[in-house]
A and B are shown apart, each in its own frame.
Chain A
Amino acid sequence: MVQILAASLALSLLVCPLAWAGAVVVHVVDQSGAPVPDAVVALTPDAAPTQSAKEPGPPLSAVLDQKNETFIPLVTLLREGGALTVRNSDRTRHHVYSFSAIKQFQFVLNPGDQSPPVIFDKPGLAAIGCNIHDQMIAYVYAARSPWTALSDGSGAVRFEDVPAGASHLEVWHPSLASGATPISQTVEIDARAKDISVTLALVAHAASSPHKSMDY
């Protein structure tokens, strides 16, 4: 893992001067045109380095806290190969698990405990739940591309220094009607600043629908 990371770093340093890059702004809106914050927006240039001098990308480690039987935050961005630490700040036990394709794990956290780091060595989306509290849900997005970010309050994401050429754009949100499958499209990037608008079909309360298990 560290080797790969080191290799990537080396590669990105090498190709860095070649970048005729531009700024790309992605606006995420829902079907009614309202801006969607907290959407995962990942732009992956086809033949591009996974490192950028100006774009540090998602962090290599993150903490997923549990408070009031809720995962905080709902969506966590990690770099591919990044480590996730799960913390229990509740007074109850939690049984944290993931059956997701990119990473499966499970452990019981006593109140106040913190898990060992979970390394997300594959890119993609993982849904994390608690077997004791079924309404609890969290998502971890392990990003391969450094041009990956959550949309801000105005539903916008700004990427700098994007290499010109074809790029793969992926957008995902917990309320997406298609569930865990992100929206993806190919966009052409050139030296000029580019505005891209993505419309998401969202369903209300999809992630926290009332369930009978709430009674347990």
Chain B
Amino acid sequence: MAFRNRLALFLIVTLIAVQGLTAVLVYGVLRDRLIDQGKQELRAATRAFKRDLDSLAGRASDAVDVLALDYPFRQAIAQRDHDTALSVLRNHGLRVDASRMILVDLDGSISVDTAAPAGTAAPPEIFPLQGLLHEAARSGHASALASLGQTICWTVVVSVRAPIPIGFIAACIPIDRTVLSNLTTLSPLVMSVALSNRPGDLKHAIAVADEVKTATITGKENLTLTTVLSMVEGSPPIIATFTYPLDEALRPYRALLLPMLLVLAGALAAALIGAVLIAHGLSRPLGALAQTATRIAGGDYTAPPRMTRRDEVGQLAAALSTMVEAVSQREAALTTTLRALETARDEAVQANNAKSQFLANMSHELRTPLNAVIGFGEVMQGEHLGPLGATAYQTYTTHIVDSGRHLLALVEEMFDLVKVEAGTFTLSHQTTQSGALIGEAAKLLEPAADAAGVRLVLHGETQTWPALEADPLKLKQVFINLIGNAIKFTPARGTVSISCNTTDTALTIRVVDTGIGMSAEEIPLIVKPFYRIASAYNGRYQGAGLGLPLAKAIVEGHGGSLRIESAPGEGTSVFVTLPLRAAGSGKASEAA
């Protein structure tokens, strides 16, 4: 992600987190405070409501008391003049805002009821609120919030005396609208109260025990307080549920949320623009510097564009300039060195070529006289032209022939090696019986082994060894070299053993000796021309160090490999692996 985008993203996430968290915290604190406030207001409302009810009760009782003292009314009751009583009750009921006026006999039965249908003579009904009657009989009057029929009203019962008790007036006065509307004046918010006479609500009211609860009513949050207002004998309990509109109380604060969101959006936009600008101011010069760096990588060391900035980017540009300069200088120095080295290498290659040419020429030139030496030596050795006389001459002649042959072999090896180096070394390819070839090589070296006191062992039936497509002469030379080396570096009473292992695709011949061996570090060295391990220089061992490199070159020329395992004093094992081509592959399974 580009630096610019990361910076912008970081700013946006940080802003959202800070703003969001602040909004949530502020809203949460406000909400808690509002709930506390709502609880207090609800409790205050409950107290005020009860106080208002009491005040209403006082006024209603007074109003009904007046009627209880009315002389003609009392007369009508005493004389059981129900028509007059009914008309008085209706008339007075209007004055006291009663919705229903009832005249109750001393025995508790209803004698006159303004709510009864006109003109019907219903059987006497028992006034249900017997508790109020008893209270009125005892103390003259009683009142309570009660449920008469389905209506919840303030019920005032007054004893009528003339002058002894003659009955009761019951006035049913609905809760004054002003009592209810007084609730609205307690708080800027409209609190409401719902009265209930459902017996089921009593259980709930007792369960909540006048505690303020939060309740969700039609999707809006409210605080509610449920309390039992009255329990009167003969009436279901009257329960009031006061509701404080928490949702409405929270509305102004929720209204704040929109401006807060706008501020958030504005801040986000500003942050975004700022981030983009800052990042742009950073990323453009950084991009230019990146291009410069790419150019430098491509080898263009022209100085990066100048920057006058003093900030980190400016410092970076300055450092880059310094670096370009340094790299440019170093590369110039390197180029000079490289040129010198190339010249030296070319000279060395030319010199090597000249040496090879010289060696090739020399070999050729050496062979002619050597052949002459050997040829005449052999003639002398054979005493073809007459006896040599002194025995010493015969011995000398043998030395001349032997040394000549040795020298010739050396020259030919060197010649081969030069050819390998020059890439002009060629191998013939013919079907060669590997067993026969190695047997011949071993036979040739048997005298040398006997002379050195080394036992030469050829394991297995050489006739069954697989045939190879190879240059038999060169390959024989390889094994002569390897077996000869093994004999040479093996002390008396040692053993050199040769064995063969074949797979479907390759033939591996092992030449294992019990000789002086060598260190692991020396192994890669001895396959290089003219190298002999240090221990070989102690005079006991002869050789020019050409055998092993040449053998390796020949084996590799056949597509095979030569591997050496050795440790000082542990002897040496040489593994020659040659690929099996078409010829002799069929015998591979028998060869093991």
Query: Which chain A residues have a beta carbon within 8 Å of chain B's beta carbons?
Result: 95, 97, 99, 104, 127-131, 134, 136-137, 179-180, 209-213, 216
Contacts and interface: CB of A to CB of B under 8 A. Distances in A.
Contacts, number: 46
Looking at B79, B163, B166, the one whose CB has the most chain A CB atoms below 10 A away is B163
A179 B140 contact: no
17 contacts: A97-B71, A97-B75, A97-B162, A99-B74, A99-B79, A127-B163, A129-B162, A129-B163, A131-B69, A134-B69, A136-B163, A137-B163, A179-B164, A180-B164, A209-B140, A211-B161, A213-B65
A210 B165 CA distance: 14
A209 B138 CA distance: 8
A127 B65 contact: no
B166 A209 contact: no
B163 A212 contact: no
Nearest to A128: B163
A5 B140 CA distance: 42
Contacts of A97: 71, 75, 162
A125 to B, nearest CB: 9
Contact of B161 (A104, A128, A134, A210): A134
Interface in B29-71: 61-62, 65, 69, 71
Nearest to B163: A129
Contacts of A213: 65, 69
Interface of B: 61-62, 65, 69, 71, 74-75, 78-79, 106, 139-141, 161-166
Main secondary structure of the interface of B (DSSP, over half): mixed
B161 A212 contact: no
Contact of B65 (A104, A136, A180, A212): A212
A134 B140 CA distance: 12
Contacts of A95: 71
B140 A137 contact: no
Nearest to B74: A99
A7 to B, nearest CB: 32
Given A97-B75, A131-B71, 20 more contacts: A97-B71, A99-B75, A99-B79, A99-B166, A127-B162, A128-B163, A129-B161, A129-B163, A130-B163, A137-B163, A137-B164, A179-B106, A179-B164, A180-B164, A209-B139, A211-B161, A212-B61, A212-B140, A212-B141, A213-B65
Given A99-B75, A213-B65, A213-B69, A134 B163 contact: yes
A193 B163 CA distance: 39
A139 to B, nearest CB: 8
Nearest to B78: A99
B164 A212 contact: no
A211 B140 contact: yes
B79 A210 contact: no
Contacts of B78: 99, 104
A97 B77 CA distance: 14
A130 B74 CA distance: 12
Nearest to A135: B163
Nearest to B158: A212
A105 to B, nearest CB: 12
A39 to B, nearest CB: 17
Contacts of B61: 212
Nearest to A134: B69
Nearest to A95: B71
Contacts of B161: 129, 134, 211
Nearest to B71: A131
Given A131-B71, A209-B140, A212-B62, A99 B162 contact: yes
A131 B72 CA distance: 10
A136 B69 CA distance: 13
Contacts of A216: 69
A104 B165 CA distance: 16
A97 B75 CA distance: 10
B108 to A, nearest CB: 14
Contacts of B65: 212-213
Contacts of B166: 99
Looking at A129, A180, A212, A216, the one whose CB has the most chain B CB atoms below 10 A away is A212
B140 A210 contact: yes
A206 B422 CA distance: 153
Contacts of A131: 69, 71
A62 B285 CA distance: 132
Contact of A179 (B62, B74, B162, B165): B165
A180 B78 CA distance: 14
A179 B162 CA distance: 12
Contacts of B74: 99
Nearest to A71: B163
Closest 3 CB pairs of A and B: A129-B163, A99-B78, A137-B163
Contacts of B140: 209-212
Contacts of A104: 78-79
Contacts of A212: 61-62, 65, 140-141
A153 to B, nearest CB: 25
A192 B140 CA distance: 47
Contacts of A210: 139-140
A104 B71 CA distance: 13
Nearest to B140: A211
Contacts of B62: 212
A21 B226 CA distance: 74
Contacts of B75: 97, 99
Contacts of A99: 74-75, 78-79, 162, 166
A180 B162 CA distance: 12
Contacts of A136: 163
Contacts of A211: 140, 161
